[in-house]
Amino acid sequence: MKTFRKGIAMSMKDKQIERRTFFRGAAVAAIMIPLSGTLASCATSGGGDSSTGKKSKNNPFGVAANSTTDAVIFKGGYGIAYAQFAGKQVSKLQKGSTVKVTAQTNIAQTLQPRFVAGNPPDVIDNSGANLIGINTIRGQLEDLTDVINADNYEGKKISDTLYAGVTKPGTFDGKFVQLNYVLTVYALWHSESLFKQNGWTVPTTWDEMYELGTKAKAAGKYLFTWGKEAATYYQTLAISSAIKEGGDEVRLALDNLEAGCWSKDAVQQVFTAMKKIIDAGYVKPGGAGTQFTAAQAQWSDDEEAILYPSGSWIENEMKTQTKSGFTMTGTPEPTVTKNSKFPAAALHSTAGEGYIVPSQGKNVAGGKEFLRAMLSKDAAVNFAKSTLSSTIVKDTIPEDGFGSTALVSQVKMLADAGTNVFSWNFVDLYGMNTDQLVVWNTFLSGVPPSPSSRARCRRSPTRCATTTR
Amino acid sequence: MTSTDTPATTRSGVSGPPVRRRRKKFSFDRVSFFVVFLGIPVVGYLIFVIWPFLQAFYYSLTDWSGFSPDMNFIGLKNYVNLFQDSIFLKAVGNSVTLLIVLPFVTLVIAMAFASIIVLGGPSNGPIRGLKASSLYRVVSFFPYVIPAIVIAIIWSFVYDPSAGLLNGILQSLGGNWANSFAWLGNPRTALVSVIFVIVWGLVGFYMVLFIASIKGVPAEIYEAARIDGAGRFRTAISITVPLIRDNIQTAYIYMGILALDAFVYMAGLEAGGGPGNSTLVISQRLFTTAFTKGQFGYASAMGVTLALITLLFAAVVFAVNRLTGGTNEVSE
């Protein structure tokens, strides 16, 4: 692209400039060229012509014989092999029908034209950094209640096999439009072996956290580390902690973005406690300029930091960059006081990796059938085994967690929490993460000292003390 | 098209010489020439440039989400919101900063290098450059051969606070403050760090461009200047710059357009807009607004604004060149 522009620059010179500025300015417009012809036609096209076959016990949605299902799967930490596995399960049961699994990393950019043209895929794994904000398309999606009311491939009703509350994050105004497949537990992760070796315990309150920070510093380590694209993991930690402290009242205030919700006592107490830790220098500096996986490796490989707040995908994500003997273990997020509204074992857990079935797809029944296969025992166990993560289907993880300490601790945390499991939606629902990253990078950086002021500090420490306060 | 020139031919056969010229005007050769070399490009231009531009303008007047065929016409509301959107205004500010700094810094350095390489040699004998000038020319062109995104990713590793090359070198030179210093994570250094990378990547290209144009200037002029006692710096300012000013103007405009975009460099170095949004540029904001926030109408308004700024910039550069006595007509 760059060379192309320069090529024109050399040969055609200034006459071209006006044309080129137009072209540049119309960057957004350029994206829309392919759409212009289709805009008019989509009013008439639509889901009505979705082909269906005869419904039966083995074919509850009536997948047409010899049909193809177009599945677009986000290719991230989990890969797409698990989806191909489920696709094969479908073709085994529905003779002649196949599932075409396509890997994709930029869901929003690649599928946007297909949505506008009224020609979306039959089933989409709407995930990753470039997912389609669910709020923008939820009106065009199928209600998936009939999927979880159907029987799975082993003949059990699907809704009875799922963890509690997993349909909540995908339900909007009473319509269940997004099936979040992967159960995610948010926690503070550490290496049990490292903690044992040093005689540390995982803190349950922020005061204990500060004390642990002091001990870690004495051992030449930091309490936390962060990366610029993942600074909001600390927001997730803060919100969890505030909800555990202040109860559902805090959760609802934040989720509904009530005026003054960030000023609630519980929220402010957590922020103040975090600020104390940051100011004490227990957070590894430089995170605002560090790529997030590099920062995570400082925790899992170099053990420069001893704790990291994240979702349970962390083990799989850092698989190749984890020190041997690093027994990754999760514990619930801390509270502010010992008499918090939620018990210490309460857990922030939700389902992620959202699957959607657009109503305008050519093979809506096929899309639903694919989800039915995914929710059946074979596919769910296959997923847990190959990605070391739990799906929303219960009882798919054996006692030894396929040899993963993280997975074992995840199952234990869920059991300990019982019904004290909570979550919130507002960050993803309104696409707020990009804006919040800016705030959190600044907060975690503390007062950013410039090179010159640091140099001043070396020359005269007293002057430095007055300038940084 | 061929059907229209058939009647013309028959008529001219009857009417004689005066109309003959008309026949020549509409001959198949001539018409097909116009169709191929004028008609098709104009149609392509209208379809692929003007029409999308008009569409973008129309979308900027709607609340289109981008993922459905439905939209409502909301007039200029998007534009009103734009000018009250502090983050967008911050992005405009950053883009304008880049627009002012980048072309100037890059072209001054490129010009200096080009002068040294072509004219900086010994002051006796014919006008010539440094001894190994062709080697320098090739070496300084290297960064341009690397795609922008690769440059951005490589430099983000160089700037890494803990394991980066830059902090490593600074610390080995005794700069203890450089331990974990986040060049891209500190609002005071982020923009400067990014500007350095872009300049590093493009100086070589503009240097080669200027070398070519300086070589087009007759050597006699330089010899005359030297005989009159002009030093190298004086020669560069009073002889080289005025004689290649058209090239400088072109380079300035292209550099300016690149500075207003800067999307690729930013995507690799500061995908999130930098600390405190200190490196957020319009194109980045446009992208997030469209694709993660699902506000294509609002994003289109940003695109139109960016286009207007670009046009304004080009106009200013032309005006400055004209007012300072340059030819307005472009050398063909």
pLDDT, one tens digit per residue, over A239-285 is 999 999 999 999 999 999 999 999 999 999 999 999 999 999 999 99
- Longest alpha-carbon distance in chain A: 84
> Residue B13: what pLDDT?
47
Give the chain A residue whose CA is nearest to the CA of B174.
Answer: A455
* CB–CB contact A32 B55 (8 Å): yes
Closest Cβ–Cβ partner in A23, A286, A441 for B162: A286
Q: Give the mean pLDDT of B172-178.
A: 84
Which residue, chain included where needed, has tokens 């979550």? A423
Q: Where in chain A is the domain with CATH 3.40.190.10?
A: 48-184+351-416, 185-349+421-445
Give the chain A residue whose CA is nearest to the CA of B294.
Answer: A136
Percent of chain A with pLDDT over 90: 57
Whole-complex ipTM: 0.74
Report the phi/psi class of residue A401: left, alpha or beta, with left for phi > 0 and alpha for psi in -120 to 50: left
**Confidence grade of residue A443 (pLDDT, cut at 50, 70, 90):** very high
pLDDT per position as a tens digit, B1-15: 444 444 444 444 444
What is the four-CA torsion angle of A366, A368, A369, A374, rounded to 10 degrees? 130
**The 3-state secondary structure of chain A, one letter per residue:** CHHHHHHHHHHHHHHHHHHHHHHHHCHHHHHHHHHHHHHCHHHCCCHHHCCCCCCCCCCCCCCCCCCEEEEEEECCCCCCHHHHHHHHHHHHHCCCCEEEEEEECCHHHHHHHHHHCCCCCCEEEECCCCCCCHHHHHHHECCCHHHHHCECCCCCEHHHHECCCCCHHHEECCEECEEEEEEEEEEEEEEHHHHHHHCCCCCCEHHHHHHHHHHHHHCCCECECCCHHHCCHHHHHHHHHHHHHHCHHHHHHHHCCCCCHHHCHHHHHHHHHHHHHHHCCCECCCHHHCCHHHHHHHHHCCCCECCEEEECCHHHHCHHHCCCCCCEEEECCCECCCCCCCCCCCEEEEEEEEEECECCCCCHHHHHHHHHHHCCHHHHHHHHHHHCCCECECCCCCCCHHHCHHHHHHHHHHHHHCCCEECCCHHHHCCCHHHHHHHHHHHHHCCCCCHHHHHHHHHCHHHHHHHHC
Structure tokens at A199: 């005689």
Res. A5: pLDDT tops 90: no
Q: Which range (A210-214, A379-383, B183-187, B325-329) has the least confidence?
A: B325-329
Closest Cβ–Cβ partner in A9, A32, A130 for B52: A32
Closest Cβ–Cβ partner in B69, B183, B185 for A39: B69
Most confidently modeled of A5-14, A28-37, A428-437, B253-262? Answer: B253-262
Give the chain B residue whose CA is nearest to the CA of A290.
Answer: B160
Check if B326 contacts A (Cβ < 8 Å): no
CB-CB neighbors (< 8 A) of B66 in chain A = 112, 116, 136
pLDDT per position as a tens digit, A225-246: 999 989 999 999 999 999 999 9
Res. A15: pLDDT tops 50: no
Q: Give the mean pLDDT of B290-311.
A: 92
Mutant choice from A28, A33, A135, A222 vs B, greatest count of B C-beta within 10 A: A28
B116 phi and psi angles, rounded to 5 deg: -65, -45
Q: Give the mean pLDDT of A79-85.
A: 92
Q: Which range (A189-198, B161-170, B176-185, B254-263) has the least confidence?
A: B176-185
> Residue B34: what pLDDT?
87
Res. B150: pLDDT tops 90: yes
- What are the distances in angstroms from CA A418 to CA A163, A244, B220? 11, 14, 90
Distance from CA of A59 to the nearest CA of B (A): 31
Distance from CA of A302 to the nearest CA of B (A): 12
Question: With the C-alpha atoms ordered A10, A12, A15, A18, is the resulting torsion angle positive or negative?
Answer: negative
- Interatomic CA distance for residues A413 and A254, integer angstroms: 24
Q: Which range (A177-186, B1-10, B26-35) has the least confidence?
A: B1-10
* CB–CB contact A26 B87 (8 Å): no
Q: Give the mean pLDDT of A207-222.
A: 95
> Residue B29: what pLDDT?
86
Q: Give the mean pLDDT of A163-190.
A: 90
DSSP strand pairing (A175-176 vs A178-191): unpaired
Q: For chain A, give the number of residues.
A: 469
Which residue, chain included where needed, has tokens 């396929």? A402
Closest Cβ–Cβ partner in B45, B178, B275 for A442: B275
Check if B184 contacts A (Cβ < 8 Å): yes
- Interatomic CA distance for residues A119 and A123, integer angstroms: 12
Most confidently modeled of A441-455, B220-234, B292-306? Answer: B292-306
Res. A189: pLDDT tops 70: yes
pLDDT per position as a tens digit, B37-70: 999 999 999 999 999 999 999 999 999 988 888 8
Q: Does domain B80-323 have CATH number 1.10.600.10?
A: no
Contact A340, A333 (CB under 8 A): no
- Strand, helix or coil for residue B62: strand
Residues 6+ apart with CB under 8 A from A410: A185, A187, A312, A330, A390, A401
- Interatomic CA distance for residues A226 and A234, integer angstroms: 8
* CB–CB contact B182 A130 (8 Å): no
> Residue A8: what pLDDT?
35
Q: Which range (A151-165, A363-377, B119-133) has the least confidence?
A: B119-133
Query: Within a 10 A sphere around the Cβ of A198, how many other Cβ atoms?
Result: 14
> Residue A50: what pLDDT?
54
Mutant choice from B58, B60, B162 vs A, greatest count of A C-beta within 10 A: B162
- Strand, helix or coil for residue B305: helix
- Interatomic CA distance for residues B256 and A70, integer angstroms: 44
Q: A189 forms bridges with which residues in the sheet?
A: A308, A330
Residues 6+ apart with CB under 8 A from B161: A285, A286, A287, A289, A290, B167, B180, B181, B182, B183, B185
Which residue, chain included where needed, has tokens 């207003």? B260
**Confidence grade of residue A51 (pLDDT, cut at 50, 70, 90):** low
Distance from CA of B278 to the nearest CA of A (A): 10
Q: Give the mean pLDDT of B136-154.
A: 90
Q: What homologous superfamily is domain A185-349+421-445 in, according to CATH?
A: Periplasmic binding protein-like II (3.40.190.10)
Q: Give the mean pLDDT of B62-82.
A: 91
- What are the distances in angstroms from CA A330 to CA A119, A196, A344, A347, A409? 43, 15, 13, 11, 6
**Confidence grade of residue A467 (pLDDT, cut at 50, 70, 90):** very low
- Domain ranges, ordered by start, for chain B: 2-59, 80-323
> Residue B301: what pLDDT?
96
Contact B261, B283 (CB under 8 A): yes
- Longest alpha-carbon distance in chain B: 96
Per the prediction, chain B carries an average pLDDT of: 86
The second-level CATH assignment, the architecture, of A48-184+351-416 is 3-Layer(aba) Sandwich (3.40)
Q: Give the mean pLDDT of A87-102.
A: 91
> Residue A100: what pLDDT?
94
- Strand, helix or coil for residue B102: helix
Question: With the C-alpha atoms ordered A273, A279, A280, A282, is the resulting torsion angle positive or negative?
Answer: positive
Q: Give the mean pLDDT of B131-152.
A: 88
> Residue A279: what pLDDT?
94
- Interatomic CA distance for residues B301 and A367, integer angstroms: 36
CB-CB neighbors (< 8 A) of B48 in chain A = 30, 33
Per the prediction, chain A carries an average pLDDT of: 83
Give the chain B residue whose CA is nearest to the CA of A288.
Answer: B185
Res. A455: pLDDT tops 80: no
Contact B141, B204 (CB under 8 A): yes
Percent of chain A with pLDDT over 70: 84
Give the chain B residue whose CA is nearest to the CA of A450.
Answer: B188
> Residue B260: what pLDDT?
92
**Confidence grade of residue A21 (pLDDT, cut at 50, 70, 90):** very low
Q: A151 forms bridges with which residues in the sheet?
A: A157
Closest Cβ–Cβ partner in A25, A137, A287 for B304: A25
* CB–CB contact A288 B186 (8 Å): yes
- Interatomic CA distance for residues B209 and A119, integer angstroms: 48
Centroid of chain to Cα B291: 25
Q: Which range (A102-106, A216-220, A297-301, A400-404) has the least confidence?
A: A400-404
Contact B252, B246 (CB under 8 A): no
